[in-house]
Amino acid sequence: FGLTMVFQIPKLNFKGPDEPASESTTSLPNIILLGIDGVNATHMSVYGYERETTPNLEGLSRNALVIENAFSNAGKTGGSLTSLLTGKSSTETRVIFPPDILMGQDAYEHLPGILKELGYSTIQISMPYYGDAYERNIRDGFDIVNFRTQSNNLLPARLARMGGGGGLYFARQIIVRITDRLAHVFFIKTMEDPYAIVTQHAEWIHDDERLEGAYQYLDETDGPLFLHVHLMDMHGPKFYVRHQVFSVGQTQDDEWNMDFYDDAVLGADRSIRELFDYLSRTGKIESTIVILYSDHGMKWDPLARIPLMFWFPGHQYAGTMNENVQLLDIAPTILDYLDVPSPEWMEGESILTGDLAPARPIFSATVGDELIITEDRTMWIVDENRISPPFYQLGRLNLVVCNRWFSLNLRDPGLTHGMVEGSTAICGAGQVPSPETAQALLTQYLIDDGYDTSGFPKVIPISEVP
């Protein structure tokens, strides 16, 4: 067969006017999971930042459940989004950084799969490769990811029916890469460059186009829709800025310029307003849950407070929550709202119960940065020749309790700790662990997830970060 068979345009079989949604699904709300990449809450005026970077969110937040102290469970996008969608930690699934993928049963246990069983159409518009659900091997979850279906190519579709194992995944990846390159050669499509996406100016990513795609799916879908959109204009080290306000008169010559970063956050705020304007204009606002999150802090920091807000129909649950919340809590919260029990394998808790423990420990994992290399200068991956037991690709395991953070370095054994910037978490006397207790908690967490810590030093340097 020829190229015409390989490159069929993917289509989702939306219910049409002659195929109405069943009564069991008409009462289900749409769910929009909206990510803004790499944003610290401390750079958002809705969280108290002195610059007015989020004027629209300040108004919209009056009808939202605003989480004051939210944290990621991983330091990189791939691990963070996989944890968010599965409800499982990175150390449980071993998905820390590409080429890590979900293996075995983990590939089939996730939020989008549960929602599909309830009758939802499921679509993801995210970051190519790193944040792509298909690339992380989320099976039977999304109907469409980044404007393609999982059965878009004939041979990978046949392989997919055989199971979720790693060998089949890598066979599929080889085929997809070959067909992508052939399509590029024959001018059928333009190849995405994942390396450029994360190392260069964000002009490679167009968030307005992502949102236009989201609006189209919302317009065309009859029945409940789970839509995961992850915006990238805020991703460093340089930022895509549509309108210069804080950076006016400047050129973006240096990396991590905070004036341009704040302008990118301001741009995201405008995009969020446009989404709510669309929902109001189309009458969908009263039947849609919107959840705003960031996958990690700026510079891939999992210990920074990140934005997390929930808008429920009818302004339900509107208010402020000061307890620490993690991205792992999003999936159980959605299911709780839908009155669907969370499966035992989900590690988070619903925040709607009102009984979160003030000193609940929140864990996050980061890759060992020294293990990351570029593959043909097309993507960042972990060099499998450099990883070794017992911690493999792990670099640090982190812990947040109340307003304190602890970070255990697994490569160069040592523990650092400090205060969470801007935290409003309130804990009683004696609820914050000592550094030694935190080390024990982190070690036990690794043991519980199957890591061998017997060779790790019992006594390690401990230092406080001012």
Q: Residue 112: which H helix or E strand, with range?
A: helix 111-118
The number of CA neighbours under 13 Å toward the Cβ of 291 is 22
325, 448: one domain: no
- Final residue belonging to a domain, choices 357, 388, 422: 357
Q: What is the pLDDT of residues 307-350, one digit of tens each?
A: 999 999 999 999 999 999 999 999 999 999 999 999 999 999 99
**What six digits make up the tokens of 298?**
């700026």
Residue 102 placed within a domain: yes
Q: Over the stretch 12-70, which tens digit does the pLDDT of each residue have?
A: 544 443 444 555 566 899 999 999 999 999 999 999 999 999 999 999 999 999 999 99
Helix (H, G, I), strand (E, B) or coil at 350: coil
Beta bridge partners of 357: none
State how beta strands 362-367 and 394-401 pair. Answer: antiparallel
249 burial (CB, 10 Å; 0-12 / 13-18 / 19+) is exposed
> pTM value?
0.86
Q: How many domains does the chain have?
A: 2
Clarify whether residues 329 and 378 are in a common domain.
no
Can you tell me which residue has the tokens 């150390």?
91
Residue 170 has pLDDT above 50, yes or no: no
Is 287 in a helix, a strand, or coil?
A: helix
pLDDT tens per residue, range 275-296 = 999 999 999 999 999 999 999 9
Residues 292 and 378 occupy one common structural domain: no
| Structural domain includes residue 227 | yes
**159: helix, coil or strand?**
helix
Q: Are 78 and 365 in contact (CB under 8 A)?
A: no
Is there a single domain that holds both residue 352 and residue 400? Answer: no
Tell me, yes or no, whether 18 lies in a domain: no
Note whether residue 83 is domain-resident: yes
Q: How many CB atoms are closer than 10 A to CB 312?
A: 19
Calpha distance 372→224 (Å, rounded): 40
Long-range contacts, 174-180 (Cβ 8 Å, 24+): 179/6, 179/7, 179/153
For residue 313, the enclosing domain spans 27-357
